[in-house]
């Protein structure tokens, strides 16, 4: 697999990261709207325009720094506003709203695998453009798998934490709210100690190889493309 320049890596990663984060947030807002809470719709957040969802630090700075300095990439957008009081059954519906984000990322991972297949199919005809499609598809599988699995961790303010809060007795809600204040710090500690990668990497590899099998691509091809995206040798 050919070596990529930093500029080409940024171009390849930009669309998958923006779409992964944006669709994740829109999915939360859309499901909340379907369940009776129009807060996100009223705020103009039910749109795929990434400008409406971009968090300067989480959507731009953090992914860029991680791309340059690590073999891992993650990010976040501005959370879509949800008002539980406007939901029909707040505790149940908040869990459904929370699960909508990771579910959208799983769907996108599958769609990006089809982009890889498309790039391979047209490789002879369009050459360099097909190579970009292939790498972009692999990046899309990677980032959406991370967003899906990471957000399912049972830690506030992640989606898994909101699902856990909905399942626990109401008396636990204040304790979960206190934990949420330190949620980002805990996530960063897990990241820098390697514990987060220990959990995520096997799952990412499994999903990537499974999708490779479904579209008829060699698992070695997926792993080598992923290695090229991070400059691994």
As annotated, the active-site residues are 25
Closest CA to 143 of 22, 52, 57: 22
What is the DSSP annotation of 176-191? HHHHHTTHHHHHHHHH
Would you tell me how many other CB atoms lie within 10 Å of the CB of residue 233?
Answer: 5
C-alpha–C-alpha distance, residues 24 and 50, integer Å: 11
C-alpha–C-alpha distance, residues 118 and 132, integer Å: 11
The count of residues in the chain is: 233
C-alpha–C-alpha distance, residues 157 and 191, integer Å: 16
Q: Let me know: does 94 contact 82? Beta carbons within 8 Å.
A: yes
Which distant-in-sequence residues (6+ apart) come within 8 Å of 208 by Cβ?
138, 141, 142, 145, 219, 222, 223, 226
Closest CA to 136 of 1, 7, 5, 17: 17
Residue whose entry in the numeric block shows the structure tokens 């996100």: 40
């Amino acid at each position: 697999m050919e070596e990529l320049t930093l500029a080409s890596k940024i171009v390849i990663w930009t669309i998958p990261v923006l779409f992964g984060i944006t669709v994740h947030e829109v999915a939360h807002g859309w499901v909340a709207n379907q369940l009776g809470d129009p807060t996100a719709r009223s705020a103009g957040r039910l749109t795929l325009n990434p400008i409406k969802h971009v968090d300067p630090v989480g959507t731009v700075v953090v992914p860029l720094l991680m791309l340059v300095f690590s073999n891992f990439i993650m990010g976040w957008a501005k959370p879509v506003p949800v008002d539980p009081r406007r939901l029909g059954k707040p505790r149940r519906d908040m869990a459904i709203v929370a699960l909508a984000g990771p579910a959208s990322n799983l769907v996108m991972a599958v769609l990006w695998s089809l982009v890889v297949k498309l790039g391979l199919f047209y490789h002879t005809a369009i050459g360099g453009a097909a190579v970009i499609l292939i790498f972009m598809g692999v990046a899309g599988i990677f980032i959406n798998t991370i967003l899906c699995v990471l957000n399912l961790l049972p830690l506030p303010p992640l989606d898994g934490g909101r699902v856990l809060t909905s399942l626990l007795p109401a008396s636990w809600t204040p304790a979960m709210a206190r934990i949420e204040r330190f949620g980002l710090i805990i996530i960063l500690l897990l990241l820098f100690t390697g514990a987060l990668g220990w959990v995520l990497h096997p799952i990412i590899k499994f999903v990537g190889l499974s999708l490779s099998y479904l579209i008829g691509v060699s698992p070695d091809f997926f792993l080598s493309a992923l290695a090229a995206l991070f400059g691994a040798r």
